[in-house]
Chain A
Amino acid sequence: MHSFVYRANALLTFAVMVLAFMCAMASLSDNLNSLSPSAQLQVLNVNWFQKSTQGNDEVSMTLNISANLQSLFTWNTKQVFAFLTAEYETPKNSLNQVSLWDGIIPSKEHAKFSIHTTNKYRFTDQGCNLLGKQYNLTLHWHVMPKTGKMFADKLVMTGFRLPEEYR
């Protein structure tokens, strides 16, 4: 503490270390949050079901996604990234996951939503395995914090089935 510069340096270093500790505490406080998200998924219509020029099956469908992810938000949440995947099994792969839709939820007010949309990304298979296929629709979410650890979880909905014939 001998000179002005010495004291200023010591203060700055200590202040930054204390800030890092505060951010760690903020991240730990996220564990105190009790989560209760809910979601409902419906396939309203299969618009078309064809073989693409590459020889792979391709489907287009209209979905209704309604969810309430408000309980995921804490004071330390920057945004929630949510995406919907279709999951099914084929002889070649034990798990195929195709992302159909995603969205960024920037705040708690936007976290209760109901969306009526066609799939944002193509539902394409590696081959021709989709005729009459049973699949699950899974809503995943990643809770991105302002500082600290990111939490991810999902909600699986089973019981969906593709048509037996091309349309």
Chain B
Amino acid sequence: MDWQGQKLAEQLMQILLVGFAVVAFAAGYALGSFQMMLLIYASGVVITTLITVPNWPFYNRHTLKWLDPREAEKHPKPQIASSSSKKKSNKK
């Protein structure tokens, strides 16, 4: 997943779970059945797991652009200068 996909997955998970909880509670209260509420919520948790946990392709639409290796060679990492350490040892 890319960064945008992770954010989407987290948001989807929270919204879906709360949504299923509200629907389950309303259905259970209206039907007068505690078991129905738990059943609807449990199936909601399974559906949410199937949507948000696996690495689906639609989470990967804003792919990360890694730096091309040939471009990286043109700009080497800066080295720490070795001359400053030699000066310190002389002063002692």
A residues neighboring B (CB under 8 Å): 1-2, 4, 7-8, 10-11, 14-15, 18-19, 21-22, 25-26, 29, 75-76, 146
In the complex the two chains form, is B13's CB within 8 Å of A14's CB? yes
- 16 more A-B contacts (CB under 8 A) besides A14-B17, A22-B21, A26-B28? A1-B6, A1-B7, A7-B9, A11-B17, A11-B45, A11-B52, A14-B13, A15-B45, A15-B48, A18-B17, A22-B24, A22-B37, A22-B41, A29-B29, A75-B28, A76-B34
Q: Which chain B residue has the least Cβ–Cβ distance from A145?
A: B34
Number of residues in B with C-beta < 8 Å to the partner?
27
Task: List 22 contacting pairs A-B, 8 Å CB cutoff, sorted by A.
Answer: A4-B53, A7-B9, A7-B53, A8-B53, A11-B13, A11-B17, A11-B45, A11-B52, A11-B53, A15-B48, A19-B21, A22-B21, A22-B25, A22-B41, A25-B25, A26-B25, A26-B37, A29-B29, A75-B29, A75-B31, A75-B33, A75-B34
Chain B min CB distance to A30 (Å): 11
Give the distance in Å from the alpha carbon of A1 to the alpha carbon of B9 in the complex. Answer: 8
Give Cα A19–Cα B45 distance, bound, in whole angstroms. Answer: 10
